Amino acid sequence: MSSQQAVAAVVVLAAGQGTRMRSATPKVLHELGGRSMLGHVLAAAQPLGAATTVVVVGSGREAVEAHLAAVAPGARAVLQAEQLGSGHAARVALDAVPELEGPVLVVNGDAPLLRTATLTALVDGHTAAASVFTVLTAEVDDPTGLGRIVRDDAGAPRAIVEERDATPGQRAVREVNAGVYVADAGTLRRVLAGLATDNAQGEQYLTDALAPLVEGGAPVAAVPAPDPDDVLGCNDRRELAVRRRTLNDRVLDELMRSGVTVVDPATTWVDVTVTVAPDALLEPGVQLRGTTSVATGAVVGPDTTLVDTTVGEGAAVVRSHVLGAVVGPRATVGPFSYVRPGTRLGADAKVGAFVETKNAQVGEGSKVPHLSYVGDATIGRGSNIGAATVFVNYDGVAKHHTTVGDAVRIGSDTMLVAPVTVGDGAYTAAGSVITEDVPPGAMGVARAAQRNVAGWVRRRRPGTAAADAAAAAGAAAEGTAGSRPAGDTPAGPAEPGADHER
């Protein structure tokens, strides 16, 4: 980064209540694109290389401090006990670092679209003008609610006037204060100490720092943001939705430019923390969140959510909800499956329709095609889990593990009661409740033998369609007792009847 140590410190103002959000959550913790507003501001400022980062906290202090500890442990939270205004907040921050000298970036905590390039442009403008106080500005179509930049006839900035305190003429100005400033620490300290509260809100406005400096003849500057979208604040839920959309559009634009196909940008939501490789394809209705990554050639969607999930090359995840999983190269998931944390699908593995998995390793080429629950399991390579199999992992108190070896055939509707192991090359008979290990190569059968009660329909359901059909089928079958002599083993050639699908 060219501007290593571009500023000595970053001060983020995040103590305000954010009343307009109407939320129990502090405003700066509201999330968009996979980060809190505060997280976005800190991420934008991080490459400036400041040795000190101070975040002014107040409203919802505990929550904001806990969040900071998680996302920016190097930042220092400083308490503004009473919210007396943005100028007071900046002052509290500077008081906490009395030794600080040089340029300081001061930024509102509710500016989630800020980008590093914009901050760099501000710092560069500050340096070029040899300024002691530089404000970032933007020309906006609707300046309602924002501070206006008042310039003199020569175009030099004279003051920042809050809307509530502005004259009609000043309100017509469309150049607004972004709430982002670079100032010399010593100068800022001095001017903040003298701030008055003679304004509509009775607060100490940081914006009031500019005019006295101009009057005292100090060099100040106002730098327009390269992209006015960058500086938009976020004060209520409607603005949050609009900012989220803008952020998402940026993320998708970048992905598309890099070679990702996004079929329907309007219904595709990708966090800033996600990576998608060129030639991946995102179908409509996809959400990619957290640390998710999608490799080249993979297809995601339609209507799929991936959270903290890794999707390998050429894999496909269709109409499914996937959390904390690894989907191996060319593996497939869905439609309509729920893949939960700790699931690891090997290369060419398959989790088909209406399957739930959790903490489950499915080995290379193994398949769980339909209607199954696979929890706390290790499945080897090339095995097939028949339809409606349940890995019975929970005894009501504790979870237990099931191990299935390589090239195993689990019959449909098998209950694998953990802890249990099915050895390499073994089978289980459809409908079995497997409570004991099945050795390699064995057929595990655990179900009652079938008994046919001959003539039952004729005797017990006379006159029904079933009785008529049975009669039409002939008396021969009627006369035969059980279909299978007692004691026969149910492992005849047709028996596994299990793995539906190859």
Integer Cα distance of 444 and 96 in angstroms: 71
Sequence-distant (6+) residues with CB within 8 A of 258 are 278
Is 109 a binder of ligand UD1 (CB under 6 A)? yes
Sequence-distant (6+) residues with CB within 8 A of 270 are 33, 248, 251, 252, 255, 276, 282, 286, 287, 288
Written as six digits, the tokens of 164 are 């509530």
Least distance from C-beta 91 to Ca ion, angstroms? 18
Ranges assigned E (strand) in 240-366: 261-262, 269-270, 275-276, 281-282, 286-289, 293-294, 299-300, 304-307, 310-311, 316-317, 321-323, 326-327, 332-333, 338-339, 344-345, 350-353, 356-362
Least distance from C-beta 38 to ligand UD1, angstroms? 9
String of contacts with Ca ion for each residue 107-146, x by CB under 5 A: ---x------------------------------------
Is 147 a binder of ligand UD1 (CB under 6 A)? yes
Nearest residue (CB) to ligand UD1, 16 versus 363: 16
Point out which span in 27-35, 103-111, 265-273, 309-317 binds Ca ion (CB under 5 A). Answer: 103-111
Nearest partner of 383 among 392, 374, 395, 394, judged by Cα:
374
Asked whether residue 359 is marked as a ligand-binding residue, the answer is no
Nearest partner of 62 among 104, 25, 102, judged by Cα:
25
Of the residues 321, 370, 400, 500, only one is catalytic, namely: 370
Integer Cα distance of 192 and 200 in angstroms: 18
Bridge partners (DSSP) listed for residue 300: 282, 317
Sequence-distant (6+) residues with CB within 8 A of 62 are none
Q: What is the 3-state secondary structure (H, E, C) of 72-123?
A: CCCCEEEECCCCCCHHHHHHHHHHHCCCCCCEEEEEECCCCCCCHHHHHHHH
Is 416 a binder of ligand UD1 (CB under 6 A)? no
Among 21, 84, 221, 418, binds ligand UD1 (CB under 6 A): 84
Bridge partners (DSSP) listed for residue 104: 9, 183
Nearest residue (CB) to ligand UD1, 60 versus 423: 60
Is 114 a binder of ligand UD1 (CB under 6 A)? no
Integer Cα distance of 427 and 439 in angstroms: 9
Among 30, 35, 67, 88, binds ligand UD1 (CB under 6 A): 88
Element containing residue 250 per DSSP (H, E) = helix 237-258
Asked whether residue 393 is marked as a ligand-binding residue, the answer is yes
Written as six digits, the tokens of 185 are 């620490």
Point out which span in 98-106, 203-211, 298-306, 358-366 binds ligand UD1 (CB under 6 A). Answer: 203-211
Exposed / middle / buried, residue 331 (Cβ in 10 Å: 0-12, 13-18, 19+):
buried
Is 386 a binder of Ca ion (CB under 5 A)? no
Asked whether residue 113 is marked as a ligand-binding residue, the answer is no
* Interaction partner, residue 305 (Ca ion, ligand UD1, none; CB < 5-8 Å by kind): none
Point out which span in 77-85, 394-402, 405-413, 444-452 binds ligand UD1 (CB under 6 A). Answer: 77-85
Residues 160-199 that bind ligand UD1 (CB under 6 A): 160, 162, 176-179
Among 26, 85, 143, 233, binds Ca ion (CB under 5 A): 233
Asked whether residue 199 is marked as a ligand-binding residue, the answer is no
CA max distance for the chain = 114
Nearest residue (CB) to ligand UD1, 108 versus 293: 108
Indicate if 370 belongs to the active site.
yes
CB 372 within 8 A of CB 390: yes
Integer Cα distance of 170 and 159 in angstroms: 11
Least distance from C-beta 263 to ligand UD1, angstroms? 35
CB 406 within 8 A of CB 381: yes
Among 104, 206, 317, 323, binds ligand UD1 (CB under 6 A): 206
Point out which span in 205-213, 217-225, 373-381, 475-483 binds ligand UD1 (CB under 6 A). Answer: 205-213
The helix/strand/coil state of 374 is strand
Asked whether residue 367 is marked as a ligand-binding residue, the answer is no
Site residues, ligand UD1 (CB under 6 A): 13-16, 56, 58, 80, 83-86, 88-89, 108-110, 146-147, 160, 162, 176-179, 205-207, 233, 235
Residues labelled as active-site residues: 370
Annotated binding-site residue numbers for acetyl-CoA: 387, 393-394, 412, 430, 447
Annotated binding-site residue numbers: 13-16, 27, 80, 110, 147, 162, 177, 235, 340, 358, 373, 384, 387, 393-394, 412, 430, 447
Annotated binding-site residue numbers for UDP-N-acetyl-alpha-D-glucosamine: 13-16, 27, 80, 147, 162, 177, 235, 340, 358, 373, 384
